[in-house]
Structure 1
Amino acid sequence: MTPARPLSLITGASSGIGAAFARHLAARGHDLVITARRTERLQELATELQVAHSTTVTVLPCDLADPAAVAGLCHAMEQRALQVDWLVNNAGYGVPGRFDANDWPVHADFLRVLLTAPTELAWRLLPGMRQRGYGRIINVASLAGHVPAPAGHTLYAASKAYLIKFSQALALENSACGVHASALCPGFTWSEFHDVTGTRAKMDKLPGYMWLTADKVVRQGIAAVERGDAVYIPGRVNRFIKTALQLMPDRLALRLSARQGTRYRDTEAH
């Protein structure tokens, strides 16, 4: 049974898809817990949503690269008697360049943010959802998790493929308990992501039809998890790309991915 005012936890909520999730869920009558590293951005978003929707927004900044971050975040929510009904695992970024060109601590931080943190958050929050008979878990994956991985940003596609399989298993294990899990797999989305990774100049050369807004991605993602879709790819072009590459022989698909990847990935040493 849907709570009168569901509580949503959104990671990486300071910008892009995370901030769009916060705005859409607040408009749907949710109270929010928002987290990211940039406290000032979170506070600005909280003020905006409180004024626009009279929603309660709890700001709990943290760095999910810290191995103790998830436990600390959940403890902070427990102290405030906050029970999470919607978990949006959105925090993420890319590490440009060749795999061996970056120091191991860089990769270790990435794996904690993209893999360990969303998995631990689901593990810690899922029992309460099952007990209450209601919950939604959205793992923001990527079209990259469905197609052959190009060179550069070596761990990104691999981490997104994990989130897709993780979401499928969660969906099968928990749907009978009123808990829906879904992997949301956008393609190119207008956000700060490519500015942070230093690939904006390359991305701007891609045709406009390849892009979706964060608002459109989020609207479709919310509808998908409510329907009980374990995996959802927003955008017809993205769904076509996924299907076309899956129908190709592996060698041809990998060759095509390698050629196209140079258009939008930094494959050089750093």
Structure 2
Amino acid sequence: MDRRLALVTGASAGIGAAFARILARHGYDLALTARRGDRLEALAEEIRLRSGVETLTIAADLADPDATDQLLEHLAAHGRTVDALVNNAGYGLPGAYADTRWEDQQAFLQVMLHAPCELAHKLLPGMVERRFGRIVNVASLAGLVPGSAGHTLYGATKSFLVKFSQSLHLEAEAHGVHVTALCPGFTYSEFHDVNATRAQISAATPPWLWLGADEVAAAGYEAVEANRTVCVPGAPNKAIAAVAKLIPDDWALALMASQGPRFRKV
């Protein structure tokens, strides 16, 4: 195929769907994956009609350790290689750590850490060989500020993705591969509906702290094209990230202890 292919995980809604539309407008064919096959097919048909690119859909649950290999085998069977990867799939797991089931935390880590790292590891050699690649790891502003009680592994996994992206950026940039950690703050999507925190967070946050999924994805696309290592969309989020670097750790942790319950279920 003449066109490059982008693989987007968690593509059925929100930031993932917005990324898919942007990539298609820039001429990429798409491989879209998420758990909801009907939503993927609807998005794929919309993009095919609007942009005229090829769209492949693979319904998969990245909590399954075999899912990444199955995705790549599916693409290989269609004769396609991946030139751009958007590791977007993710969710929140509310509650205090001791009150959750380990099986749920294990699945969370599989989706949020193992799958993005495995996909990047298996796709990067081909990108290096072709001297072209784009990798966007959708992290979060939560990965740039101190941890808070509740959703215990969420900020930790997002902080990992930031550091992982920085290291991968340094290793890959000489080979034509751009790597970016995208760190959005509050974003209008289904994220807070899925973990039933929409009402709590909406009541605790002003509208100016929120961005649309299209804005976030556009910022991420521009950042990876410009080969910027970390992208924090929105002026308020940039200010929060900057302040978090400047204030002493004990002050920052005390602030999270006092304000965290407004945003997290414990």
TM range (shorter): over 0.9
Instruction: Name the count of aligned residue pairs.
Output: 265
Residue 244 (structure 1) aligned with residue 251 (structure 2)? no
Matched residue, 2:187: 189
Deviation sequence 1:40-71 (CA, Å, 0-9, x none): 00000001001111111000111000011111
| Range that drifts further, 129-138 or 201-210 | 201-210
Letter in 2 for 1:170: L
Query: 1:143 Cα shift?
Result: 0.4
CA distance in 1, matches of 2:181, 2:2: 25
Letter in 2 for 1:173: E
CA distance in 1, matches of 2:103, 2:244: 33
Query: 1:209 Cα shift?
Result: 0.8
Letter in 2 for 1:263: R
Map residues 12-161 of structure 1 onto 2, 5 A cutoff.
Answer: 12-161=10-159
Query: 1:217 Cα shift?
Result: 0.6
Query: 1:4 Cα shift?
Result: 5.5
Residue 224 (structure 1) aligned with residue 223 (structure 2)? yes
Query: 1:246 Cα shift?
Result: 1.6
CA distance in 1, matches of 2:40, 2:4: 20
| SS in structure 1 at match of 2:134 | strand
Q: Which consecutive unaligned segments of at least 5 residues does structure 2 have?
A: none
Letter in 1 for 2:248: P
| SS in structure 1 at match of 2:162 | helix
Change (3 A) 1:4 1:80: closer
Letter in 2 for 1:220: A
Deviation sequence 1:60-113 (CA, Å, 0-9, x none): 111000011111111111111111010000000000000011111100000000
The TM-score, its normalising length taken from structure 2, stands at: 0.98
Letter in 1 for 2:40: L
Letter in 1 for 2:197: T
Q: CA RMSD in A?
A: 0.9
CA distance in 1, matches of 2:60, 2:228: 30
Query: 1:5 Cα shift?
Result: 2.1
The TM-score, its normalising length taken from structure 1, stands at: 0.97
| SS in structure 2 at match of 1:60 | strand
| SS in structure 2 at match of 1:9 | strand
CA distance in 2, matches of 1:155, 1:120: 19
CA distance in 1, matches of 2:98, 2:15: 30
Letter in 2 for 1:207: P
CA distance in 2, matches of 1:84, 1:217: 22
CA distance in 1, matches of 2:170, 2:247: 29
CA distance in 2, matches of 1:224, 1:77: 26
Query: 1:245 Cα shift?
Result: 1.9
Deviation sequence 1:209-233 (CA, Å, 0-9, x none): 1101111111111110111111111
Letter in 2 for 1:111: L
CA distance in 2, matches of 1:28, 1:215: 15
